[in-house]
């Protein structure tokens, strides 16, 4: 027969099992959907929190950049003056040494 020798009882059991599997699959799909919605909500909350923190930190970051630029200017001036001072000190010490040598 076209049913491959399956009796009516076996077909009924198989149809029942297919129905049970279908119901279980639907339940699993609904749970997955609920989990995805939870995850999506969490991602939205995290992104919102990040945006709020960025907005709160933006003025401080801008000020920090300005201060870093000012610091660099001061540091560059300090380094130049330090080199100038070291050269003057070396020149002074050489002159003192020369004068000390002339005294002898």
Give CA separation, 81 vs 18, 75, 84, 95, in Å: 88, 10, 5, 21
Q: What is the pTM assigned to this prediction?
A: 0.50
Per-residue pLDDT for 1 more than 50?
Answer: no
Between 99 and 58, residue with greater pLDDT:
58
Between 4 and 31, residue with greater pLDDT:
31
In whole angstroms, give the CA distance from residue 76 to residue 34. 60
Per-residue pLDDT for 4 more than 50?
Answer: yes
pLDDT above 90 covers a percentage of the chain that reads 81
């Amino acid at each position: 027969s076209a049913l491959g020798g399956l009796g009516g009882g076996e077909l009924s059991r198989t149809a029942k099992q297919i129905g049970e599997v279908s119901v279980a699959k639907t339940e699993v799909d609904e749970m997955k959907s609920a989990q995805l919605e939870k995850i999506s909500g969490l991602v939205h909350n995290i992104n919102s929190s990040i945006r709020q923190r960025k907005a709160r930190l933006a003025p401080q970051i801008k000020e920090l950049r300005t201060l870093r630029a000012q610091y660099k200017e001061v540091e560059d001036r300090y380094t130049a003056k330090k080199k100038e001072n070291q050269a003057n000190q070396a020149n002074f010490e050489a002159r003192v040494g020369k004068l000390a040598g002339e005294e002898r």
